[in-house]
Amino acid sequence: MQINKLPIAIIGGGSIGLVAAAHLAKRKIPFILFELGSSVGQNILSWQHIKVFSPWKYNIDKIAEELLLQTNWEIPNKEGLPTGKELVDKYFHPLSQHPQIQPYIHLNTEVVSIGRKGLDKMKTANRENKPFIIKVIENNQTKYYEAKAIIDSSGTWNQPNPIGSGGVFAEGEQEIKNNIFYGIPNIKGDLLNRYKNKNILVVGGGHSAMNVLLDLADIQKKYSNTQINWVLRKKDLSVVYGGKEDDAFEARGALGARLEGLINGKKLNVYTHFHILKLTVNKNGIQIDGELNGENETISNIDEIISNTGSRPNLDMIREVRIDLDASLESVFDLAELIDPNTHSCGTVRPHGEKELRHPEKDFYIVGSKSYGRAPTFLMATGYEQVRSVVAYLDGDFESAKRVELNLPETGVCSSDSVSEGSCC
């Protein structure tokens, strides 16, 4: 088939992949979307019990809303703060069911590799005229699809960082992985029995860790034998508390303020500037050996570990594509100076589009949280602007691709020392 007649392939049916689909549908450009999970918004559903900090008005893309309004969609209260489940149930799922989108979504389909048909990464001749070839495992079967362009929106959430010091697995970490929850467990819901009256260690210094600590503190009120320990690599807790009442996202600021109250009320043990080196299990539970402010330190008798040390992009599947990534963040190269978490916080990232997201591989784009690599500062609204611009460009609408149409609130809080621990989200 001629390359121009092929669809554009979207990898991942999370928030940004689905909005990319909406923009392609609106422009009547053929597309195909591959989603690893059995539902769209799979990664969001893994933290479905958590309320986001940005209100609906920032979470709904304009074009997606336009399409949804053609159906019997119930518009959420724009000032309200949805949980992860509400985001999927009230927005992403209905969007995925739109008649111009639904037929092109392949669920239970994992993309394992992407390349140019018949050409490895080294070959240049006629490269731009060859279709992309996508190898997938679809409902347990290996299949190949061709596409004229790729929008990789596969996120980073299902590639959590290890808890070991320096970004590598601590000795023993993989052996005891059944005692470690990477992510945000539903502590007050279906996992209550796992955590109530237990001695728990939380690792990480970002908003995910804060949500976990606050949930543990809630169950501690009723189950008073619940003990909470918090290990973080940062030295300075004020960095973790963030902007508090100065944060433009009130709900995000409130997390820091509540956490400070718990620490002042001695509801949890805090180990600041702790580096985990070794994990072992003995008859009393898990023992954590590491360094606290440069001195050897051991934390003992832990029943459960919850890890929130950020996440990293899956680069294996794009090994045969010519991409340009920043050496430290693993973000799209041109984004690094805009998003480096050493100097930017969630709301202060300048909007950007197709131009900044371009790679040496023509018509290949990494968007969404994956475009930020390991930087934790991504907001859905930023991703919507990315795909609006990329889709316009792929449609030959270069004027629209160049325009910046996003206006985010400033947080006024710039943190440093935050790259490794998922400071924002």
Which residue ranges make up the site for ligand FAD (CB under 6 A)? 11-17, 34-37, 42-44, 47, 50, 52-54, 110-111, 153-155, 157-158, 184, 208, 211, 317, 368-370, 378-381, 383, 425
| Nearer residue to ligand FAD within complex by CB, 12 or 290 | 12
In angstroms, the CA 111 to CA 158 distance is 14
| Nearer residue to ligand FAD within complex by CB, 187 or 381 | 381
| Nearer residue to ligand FAD within complex by CB, 290 or 368 | 368
| Least distance to ligand FAD, CB of residue 344, Å | 15
Tell me which H or E stretch contains 92: none
* Residue least distant from ligand FAD (Cβ): 14
| Least distance to ligand FAD, CB of residue 5, Å | 24
| Nearer residue to ligand FAD within complex by CB, 60 or 288 | 60
Enter the tokens of residue 135: 């190898």
| Nearer residue to ligand FAD within complex by CB, 54 or 227 | 54
Q: Return the closest-CA partner of residue 211 out of 193, 186, 231.
A: 186
Give the residue ranges of DSSP H helices in 74-227. 84-87, 93-96, 192-195, 207-222
In angstroms, the CA 371 to CA 329 distance is 10
| Least distance to ligand FAD, CB of residue 371, Å | 8
| Nearer residue to ligand FAD within complex by CB, 288 or 317 | 317
Residue 123, number of CB atoms within 10 A of its CB: 11
| Nearer residue to ligand FAD within complex by CB, 40 or 288 | 40
Placement of tokens 């796992």 in the chain: 194
SS3 366: strand
| Least distance to ligand FAD, CB of residue 178, Å | 22
For the chain, give the longest Cα–Cα distance. Answer: 68
E strand intervals along 293-396: 295-302, 304-307, 364-366
| Nearer residue to ligand FAD within complex by CB, 256 or 383 | 383
Give the residue ranges of DSSP H helices in 223-297. 237-241, 250-264
| Least distance to ligand FAD, CB of residue 424, Å | 8
Residue type at 310?
A: G
| Least distance to ligand FAD, CB of residue 287, Å | 29
| Least distance to ligand FAD, CB of residue 251, Å | 7
Please classify residue 415 by burial: count the beta carbons closer than 10 Å to its beta carbon, then call 0-12 exposed, 13-18 middle and 19+ buried: buried
| Least distance to ligand FAD, CB of residue 416, Å | 21
Please report, in angstroms and rounded to a whole number, the separation of the first and last CA atoms in the chain. Answer: 42
In angstroms, the CA 53 to CA 381 distance is 13
